Amino acid sequence: MADGKFAWAPSSGMLPSGIEEYGDGYRSYFEEGHVDIEEGSGDSEEGIVSGASIGEVMAGIQKMEMITSDPDFHSRCCQLMMFKPAREITSEQTGYLWVQEILCGHDICCYEMFRMEKHVFLKFCDELVEQGLKSTRQMGVQEMVAMFLNTVGHGVGNRMIQERFQHSGETVSRHFHEVLVACLRLSIKYIKPSDPKFQNVHSKIKNDQRYWPFFKNAIGAIDGTHIPCVVSPSDQPKFIGRKGYPTQNIMAVCDWDMCFIFALPGWEGTAHDARVFDNAITTPTMNFPHPPPGKYYLVDAGYPTPKGYIGPYKCERYHLADFRRSSGFTNHNEIVCATMAIHNFIRRHSETDTEFNQYEHANILDGEDNSYVGENSDQTLTISSSAEMDRVRDSIRDQIINHMQ
């Protein structure tokens, strides 16, 4: 049965447990033994391969009791050195030079490679530095961020990034994780309402005859989606739903600026939408942005409708092509939140973003229905639907009908 043990919300104000140490476990042991594998991995920006040889590193490993005392860990360390040979730089255009060429070239190149305009990219790098991202001897912040954006923006694997940026797989993986942690810190800052008290009616409502004045008290929308994930074999049964492969059930809240103001990834794919919703709005540490009196969220049919939440009529067809947008992610819950933070950052710092402008003014085709009832939807929840919100919905319906006559 799904238990939500992997769930995490940026609004909690804390990073996921253990994320800052993830993927870097063996590095500290090498450094404690004074073995430098970074410069021996072909990662110098000048193309000079120096430092310890593989044999010297192996000899250092054999002297570390903390590694040799753990047979499994010792085996993995040896495999890392013996079967993952150091990557030599084979191209004259290093990653650093390529990034500089992009930043000094045509504006479209930067947008296509990094999914953001030049000034936004530079501001994004500065913001990540404020969140703790640091340059190293071999790599600057701009190159780290460029590798990360290429990976999540184009779905590129580690080996392709190695070839493009001329760094070893270990270096690519490590710096990807460092940028990821900085982005998660950024998500705490950016995935929240810009108007916490929801005092103002958004211009999107006021200037659209489809919405005004019927939805003048609507402050945003809540929906869920199932995103593929990789989990251990023992956890897979809880994550495999109707799609036939492991997914996580993610709940997201968006405002009228198309920005995420709350996100809760990590729930197992078999978890019912109502259970994820219940966990989000009833757990104090989640710091969910509850609607003030008289305001409400528009929610998907899979969620309960307590006071402050209005859902659609059951068994009714809607003109979804006029109202619905769909998007997806393809990785773990930390990367989901990181990309949501990047989404919000671009949205708030770019007024001329081509993709956003397209979605702002165009009717989008109906997306996939991601709802899934893996658990009993009638299970006991902390919250329940309210007849008061049904009356509010009926009132909105009557206003629209009268307006059309």
Calculate the CA 83 to chain-centre distance: 32
42 and 146 in a common domain: no
108 and 220 in a common domain: no
Answer with the one of 142, 169, 190 that is the final residue of a domain.
Answer: 190
184 and 67 in a common domain: no
251 and 385 in a common domain: yes
- pLDDT tens digit sequence for 300-345: 888 888 899 988 887 655 544 444 433 333 346 688 888 889 988 9
184 and 141 in a common domain: yes
In one letter, which amino acid is 225? T
101 and 75 in a common domain: no
Look at residue 1 and tell me if it is in a domain: no
Dihedral over Cα of 367, 368, 370, 376: its sign: positive
Phi-psi region of 349 (alpha: psi -120 to 50; beta: other; left: phi over 0): alpha
Q: How confident is the model at residue 56 (pLDDT cuts 50, 70, 90)?
A: low
Look at residue 303 and tell me if it is in a domain: yes
**What's the Cα-to-Cα distance from 87 to each of 43, 51, 54, 135, 334, rounded to whole Å?**
8, 14, 12, 21, 28
Task: Give alpha helix (H) positions in 191-247.
Answer: 203-206, 236-239
Of 91-105, 112-126, 130-144, the poorest mean pLDDT is in 91-105
Look at residue 128 and tell me if it is in a domain: yes
243 and 346 in a common domain: yes
Answer with the one of 62, 83, 104 that is the final residue of a domain.
Answer: 83
Mean pLDDT of 90-103: 85
Mean pLDDT of 203-227: 88
319 and 379 in a common domain: yes
153 and 79 in a common domain: no
377 and 246 in a common domain: yes
- pLDDT tens digit sequence for 128-158: 999 999 998 889 999 999 999 998 888 888 8
Answer with the one of 190, 223, 240 that is the final residue of a domain.
Answer: 190
| Single pTM value for the model | 0.73
Look at residue 2 and tell me if it is in a domain: no
| Contact by Cβ (8 Å): 229, 239 | yes
Look at residue 21 and tell me if it is in a domain: yes
Average pLDDT, the chain: 77
- pLDDT tens digit sequence for 352-376: 666 666 656 555 444 444 444 455 5
With a CB cutoff of 8 Å and minimum separation 6, the contacts of 52 are 35, 36, 37, 39, 40, 60
264 and 142 in a common domain: no
Split into its structural domains, the chain has a count of 3
Is the pLDDT assigned to residue 272 strictly greater than 50?
Answer: yes
Structural domain of 56: 17-83
340 and 239 in a common domain: yes
